[in-house]
């Protein structure tokens, strides 16, 4: 999977994570266009972005591309459709203002996700279409991305006793 990160942000913010978030909020508030980021992915390799906060989002794209390719191969075999190769390319748009809470109306996740599936096969177009429909119905990561999944998050807070400060 190849992942290419295109980030129009040109001013890195240094310091602690809290300072980084505050700095990003100021930057993105002043220059909203700098928050527009495009992630491109295929299923062969992965590259870590300069922006470590985006790594989990890139892993979602990796999972989607890899799962979709594997599901194509699985169902091509199951349906008896010859498949020489399959490649899935993804493009996802993300506005970093949502990630850094610089704009309340902007979501933190992908605002747009598009996939291109390139297939090499001697099969006719009707078989390939049957394969596409089957894959889109049964790809688990695609289902996860397309459909809301009930998520329950439990917070467990653990307090550690600290030694009193020396006087």
pLDDT tens digits along 108-141 = 888 888 899 999 999 999 999 999 999 999 999 9
Residue pLDDT, tens place only, 62-98: 889 999 999 999 999 999 999 999 999 888 888 878 8
Residues in the chain: 167
Paired residues of 112 in beta bridges = 93
| Structural domain for 52, as ranges | 3-146
* Residue 157 in domain: no
Tally the domains of the chain: 1
Which CATH number belongs to the domain containing residue 141 in this structure?
3.30.300.20
Q: With CA atoms as reference, report the closest residue to 81 among 123, 118, 135.
A: 123
Instruction: Give the predicted TM-score (pTM) of the model.
Output: 0.70
Q: What is the DSSP string of 41-71?
A: EESS-----S-GGGHHHHHHHHHHHHHHHHH
* Residue 75 in domain: yes
* Residue 98 in domain: yes
* Residue 159 in domain: no
* Residue 151 in domain: no
* Residue 110 in domain: yes
């Amino acid at each position: 999977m190849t992942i290419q990160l295109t980030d129009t942000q040109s001013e890195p913010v240094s310091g602690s994570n809290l300072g980084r978030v505050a700095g990003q909020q100021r930057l993105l508030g002043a220059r909203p266009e700098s928050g527009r980021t495009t992630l491109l992915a295929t299923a062969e390799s992965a590259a870590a972005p300069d922006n470590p906060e985006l790594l989990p989002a890139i892993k979602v794209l990796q999972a989607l591309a890899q799962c979709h390719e594997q599901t194509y191969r699985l169902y091509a075999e199951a349906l008896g459709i010859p498949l020489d190769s399959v490649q899935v390319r993804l493009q996802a748009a993300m506005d970093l203002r949502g990630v850094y809470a610089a704009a309340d109306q902007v979501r933190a996740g992908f605002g747009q996700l598009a996939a291109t599936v390139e297939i090499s096969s001697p099969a006719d177009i009707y078989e390939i279409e049957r394969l596409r429909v089957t894959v889109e119905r049964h790809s688990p990561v695609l289902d996860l991305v397309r459909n809301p999944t009930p998520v329950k998050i439990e917070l467990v807070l653990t307090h550690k006793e600290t030694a009193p400060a020396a006087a």
